[in-house]
Amino acid sequence: MFTLILIIIVGLTKYSVPINILVGIILPVVFILIWTLFMAPHSMDRVSLPYRILIEILIFGSCCYLICLNLASKWGTIYIIVVMANAILSHIGDAIYDQV
């Protein structure tokens, strides 16, 4: 949720009219659809681990890029470190849970 809020804020405040609608509204909606269709734990079409990692890199990497480009690279670095730690712990937890 925090990633989507960041994308919306950066998209709507840092770009001019045609681009702000694309980045601030359409991009988060596309990311929500991708997440709900292919990444959610109870999704019927949940993709395998390598594809989930690829989708996470796409979503969180684009948010980090927008933060670094429009706000400050320091905040983008902090964001990506927190996201990477969360993703690693999440995938480790999924692997442990699948074994039980």
- Predicted confidence at residue 43, as pLDDT, reads 87
- Which band of pLDDT confidence, cut at 50, 70 and 90, is reported for residue 94? confident
Q: CB neighbours of 8 closer than 8 A, spacing ≥ 6?
A: 24, 25, 28
pLDDT tens for each residue of 3-45: 999 999 999 998 888 899 999 999 999 999 999 999 888 888 8
**Which tens digit of pLDDT belongs to each residue from 43-75?**
888 898 889 899 999 999 999 999 999 888 999
Residue 42 is predicted with a pLDDT of 86
Identify the pLDDT of residue 4. Answer: 92
Domain ranges within the chain, ordered by starting residue: 2-99
Provide the total of helices (H) and of strands (E) in the chain, helices listed first: 5, 0
Do the Cβ atoms of 57 and 1 come closer than 8 Å?
A: no
Out of 61-65, 84-88, 96-100, which region has the weakest mean confidence (pLDDT)? Answer: 96-100
Sorting pLDDT into bands at 50, 70 and 90, what band is 100? low
